[in-house]
Homo-oligomer: A and B are copies of this chain.
């Protein structure tokens, strides 16, 4: 079966010096196009879901889209089944994934995106949960989800807010690169795409392209990390046989 997925996976919702979604608003408009009228927003990653939905609604209305927040729905599964497009916002990835499991939304979202082909936008935690698992989140495990396995809309993992080592730092906590390499010390772990703030990954069917201005760093188990500029064709990451080393 043809893979109908359409994903816009954003590293971060807010770039330094800008407002909410400012840096990716043109990407969002191009991605959603003129057909989508209303977006289903998932604010589960933040504690104050109402305030979060208000922020997202204001921004997306300014871009010409309506917004329903799933937390205002009496039947979240039905809301997913009817959604024209889904946007999962950032916050704490553990909290977000736990809520997706608690509300039994993993399979309905997968079906809508992979089979029905509705557009999926994720930012930060919302990008993490789109991947194989949340094993490469930066967030604190403030709650315990029933699994770290996520929506599996792509066969690799992403590290959002990817941060290069600070050569001037005297802090001895592990660098981001070190942490991802520790993940790859474990067997059967998929590639990890480190998306710097300001970067986005566009996935359409079996084609994946790096967008934004800041580039990405790719980690594959058993290989040295590699640097990639915007415009890079990452379609090879969508090949299931590339996935596990």
Q: How far is the CB of A89 from chain B (nearest CB, A)?
A: 14
Q: How far is the CA of A15 from the CA of B171 in the complex (A)?
A: 8
Interface size classification for chain A: 35 or more
Q: How far is the CB of A93 from chain B (nearest CB, A)?
A: 9
Q: How far is the CB of A52 from chain B (nearest CB, A)?
A: 13
Q: How far is the CA of A233 from the CA of B242 in the complex (A)?
A: 55
How many copies of this chain does the complex contain?
Answer: 2
Partner of A141, one of B15, B141, B161: B141
Residue of A94, A137, A182 with highest tally of chain B CB at under 10 A = A182
Can you name the residue of chain B whose Cβ is closest to the Cβ of A173? B161
Q: Point out the residues of chain B lying under 8 angstroms from A163, CB to CB.
A: 171, 173
Q: Point out the residues of chain B lying under 8 angstroms from A34, CB to CB.
A: none
A172/B15 in contact, CB under 8 A? yes
* Given known A163-B173, A171-B161, A171-B163, contact A140–B197 (CB-CB < 8 A): no
A140/B137 in contact, CB under 8 A? yes
B141/A182 in contact, CB under 8 A? no
Q: Is the interface of A mostly helix, strand, loop or mixed?
A: loop
- A186 part of interface (Cβ distance < 8 Å): yes
Partner of A14, one of B14, B94, B172, B183: B172
Instruction: Give per-residue flags for A115-159: 1 if the beta carbon is below 8 A from chain B beta carbons, else 0.
Output: 000000000000000000011111111111001100000000000
* Given known A171-B197, A173-B161, contact A140–B142 (CB-CB < 8 A): no
B47/A185 in contact, CB under 8 A? yes
Can you name the residue of chain B whose Cβ is closest to the Cβ of A15? B172
Q: How far is the CB of A137 from chain B (nearest CB, A)?
A: 7
Q: Point out the residues of chain B lying under 8 angstroms from A186, CB to CB.
A: 142-143
Can you name the residue of chain B whose Cβ is closest to the Cβ of A160? B173
Q: Point out the residues of chain B lying under 8 angstroms from A12, CB to CB.
A: 172-173
Q: Nearest 9 pairs between A and B by C-beta?
A: A16-B170, A47-B185, A142-B183, A161-B173, A140-B179, A144-B148, A12-B172, A92-B182, A14-B172
